[in-house]
Amino acid sequence: MIDFELTDEQRLIRETAKEFTDREIIPVVRENDRNEHFDLGLVKKLGDMGFLGSIVAEEYGGRGIDYRTYALIVEEIGRGDSASRTVVSVQTSLVCSSIQRWGTEEQKHRWLPSLCSGEALGCFGLTEPNTGSDAANLSTRATKTDGGWRISGQKQWISMGNYAKVAMIFAQTDPEKKHRGLACFLVPTDSDGFSASAIHGKLGLRGSDTAELSLDAVEVPDDALLGEVGDGFKVAMSALDSGRYSVAAGCVGICQGCVDASVNYSTQREQFGKPIASFQLVAAMIADMVVDTEAARGLVWRAGWLKDTDRPSTTETSVAKLFATEAAVRSANTAIQVHGGSGYVDDYPVERYLRDARVTTLYEGTSQIQKLIIGRAATGVNAMV
């Protein structure tokens, strides 16, 4: 049975994440956003707090917490700043959880402690200029050499790609095998032939680093393979099972931030001689945000409970991701409406919430991909072939 009662430990961790967000993140978020500044000092603090790789086992440098507790942390950080939340999600869910699940003991000991502490960053190189939703159809090629592999290709929209020490690179080893030919490699980013360049001009997530990666005949040894040759697609999909969950939890934070900001503003701001909260149309907007927040949180917690109890969770994760990301966009848009003209400038967090929320219905699987996954589970018919 799902139990909504938090344990004392979960309350403490949530409170710690909340205090950290209020003290360390919120005071710098506006300037980082304005300056497109990827704040490495903040990344270090996230690592020091144990917020990177927290679901990784303690023997590899993580905190060994469960998925529901992880969501509490991610929600709080997401309330403060989606750029910081992206660091937590990518590092923890896409990179660390993949290495923990698919890595050899040697790979786990080599990479996880420094990733969990924040000393090193990792990135997830799946998407390419011509490959987004159709993730099995990669152009990046890995060719066998004596004792290793040679990888060539381009990767696009890669969070933290300019700062990562290790990149998970998905590549095709045998095009005839389609998704069963894919392999994932742990590529040190200082390898010869590896380069990254920053992507600027984003609508939101301006405090987040986004890169295009280029691999020009990068040579890696056999032990860079994460999983077996042919496991690449499963490595990617299992990473996204965790990554989509984390994005959803971050969006609960955006929704909650919209409620908090709108309650504050509407109880202070007076028009027609009284606080605007006393107008029914304003109350209705706030009620919509509250409902979206609570529904999104419930769906995230359900997906987390399934993961914590080792039950299948792919469809429920898509449900949570679809609802929470769309709810965050809706709530941010509504929160701006509550704030009026003040919501349109960055004195308040709500315009940033809207800009930052917008990408969440795109990355880690668009809303349309989530609907196809949910629809297939409901009907038994695959609308993707």
Catalytic residues, by residue number, are 364
Half-sphere exposure of residue 121, counting CA atoms within 13 Å on the CB side?
Answer: 25
Q: How far is the CB of 314 from ligand COS (least distance, A)?
A: 4
Q: Alpha-carbon distance 377 to 215, whole Å?
A: 37
What does the block give as tokens for 302? 């359900």
Binding residue for ligand COS, selected from 88, 240, 306, 359, defined by CB under 6 A: 240
**Residue 127 found at the interface with ligand COS (CB under 6 A):** yes
Cα torsion 200, 201, 202, 205: sign = positive
**Residue 365 found at the interface with ligand COS (CB under 6 A):** yes
Binding residue for ligand COS, selected from 77, 99, 126, 211, defined by CB under 6 A: 126
**Residue 247 found at the interface with ligand COS (CB under 6 A):** no
Asked whether 57 and 100 are in contact (CB, 8 A), the reply is yes
Binding residue for ligand COS, selected from 72, 183, 255, 369, defined by CB under 6 A: 369
Q: Which residue has the tokens 């038994």?
A: 380
**Residue 309 found at the interface with ligand COS (CB under 6 A):** no
**Residue 237 found at the interface with ligand COS (CB under 6 A):** yes
Q: Alpha-carbon distance 254 to 352, whole Å?
A: 10
Q: How far is the CB of 58 from ligand COS (least distance, A)?
A: 25
What would you measure as the largest C-alpha separation in the chain, in angstroms? Answer: 79
Site for ligand COS in 169-228 (CB under 6 A): 179-180
Binding residue for ligand COS, selected from 13, 56, 112, 135, defined by CB under 6 A: 135
What does the block give as tokens for 214? 């280029």
- Closest CB to ligand COS among 17 and 171? 171
**Residue 233 found at the interface with ligand COS (CB under 6 A):** yes
What does the block give as tokens for 321? 């991701």
**Residue 136 found at the interface with ligand COS (CB under 6 A):** yes
Q: Alpha-carbon distance 322 to 312, whole Å?
A: 17
Q: Choose the stretch contacting ligand COS; rule: CB under 6 A; options: 81-89, 113-121, 131-139, 285-293.
A: 131-139
Site for ligand COS in 312-331 (CB under 6 A): 314
Asked whether 256 and 353 are in contact (CB, 8 A), the reply is no
- Closest CB to ligand COS among 173 and 256? 173
Asked whether 54 and 63 are in contact (CB, 8 A), the reply is yes
Q: Alpha-carbon distance 222 to 292, whole Å?
A: 47
- Closest CB to ligand COS among 38 and 233? 233
Q: Alpha-carbon distance 201 to 60, whole Å?
A: 37
Q: Choose the stretch contacting ligand COS; rule: CB under 6 A; options: 133-141, 213-221, 264-272, 302-310.
A: 133-141
- Closest CB to ligand COS among 237 and 263? 237
**Residue 81 CB: number of other CB atoms within 10 A?**
31
Q: How far is the CB of 291 from ligand COS (least distance, A)?
A: 27
Q: How far is the CB of 236 from ligand COS (least distance, A)?
A: 7
Taking CA atoms, 327 is separated from 254, 320, 331, in Å, by 9, 10, 6
- Closest CB to ligand COS among 339 and 358? 358
**Residue 47 found at the interface with ligand COS (CB under 6 A):** no
List Cβ neighbours of 150 (8 Å cut-off, separation of 6 or more): 142, 143, 217, 218, 219
Q: Alpha-carbon distance 294 to 305, whole Å?
A: 16
Q: How many residues bind ligand COS (CB under 6 A)?
A: 20
Q: Choose the stretch contacting ligand COS; rule: CB under 6 A; options: 63-71, 191-199, 237-245, 280-288.
A: 237-245
Q: Which residue has the tokens 């440098």?
A: 61
Q: Which residues bind ligand COS (CB under 6 A)?
A: 126-127, 133, 135-136, 179-180, 233-234, 237-238, 240-241, 314, 363-365, 369, 373, 384
